[in-house]
Copies of this chain bind each other. A is one copy, B any other.
Amino acid sequence: MKKDEEYMRLAIIEAGKALEIEEVPIGAVVISKGEIIGRGYNLRENTNDPTAHAEIIALKNAAANLNSWRLDECSLYVTIEPCPMCAGAIVQARIKRLVYGAKDPKAGAAGSLYNIVRDKRLNHQVELKAGVLAEECGDLMKGFFRKLRK
């Protein structure tokens, strides 16, 4: 879907904001009816908040804008596969559809280590699309860690 790439580009813009302040470059946006209603980028180091991942910030931002914790008409776009915390938050927020860029084989919880967003034992399942602009999303991470090692 062409639209998916468009929205992923908005998530990549968020990731770029993290990169500028030396955070791991992950970005996310929440889309409702074609409009961006939430955005976030990783802020763990700058805020000293262990939960300040891109997805959590974007979900909280969207919920505040809609004045509802239930985001069941929304899609979440994130540059990297969510970790267990974020995959769990996506289920808690009843997100309708999750689209991510690059896989995270070390900690991903939407297909890699777990698939929390598709788990039929939980009270909500999320539509899932992986691999949108995966290379671009992954390259941002690789560049960051390469620079960090130097």
Contact = CB atoms under 8 A, between A and B. Distances in A.
Nearest to A93: B50
Interface stretch (A6-14, A61-69, A125-133, A134-142): A61-69
A56 interface: yes
Interface residues of A, number: 40
Contact of A88 (B44, B87, B93): B87
Contact of A49 (B48, B52, B60, B91): B60
A107 B89 contact: no
Interface in A41-87: 44-45, 47-53, 56, 59-60, 63-64, 67-71, 83-87
Interface of A: 44-45, 47-53, 56, 59-60, 63-64, 67-71, 83-89, 91-94, 106-107, 109, 113-114, 116, 119, 121-123
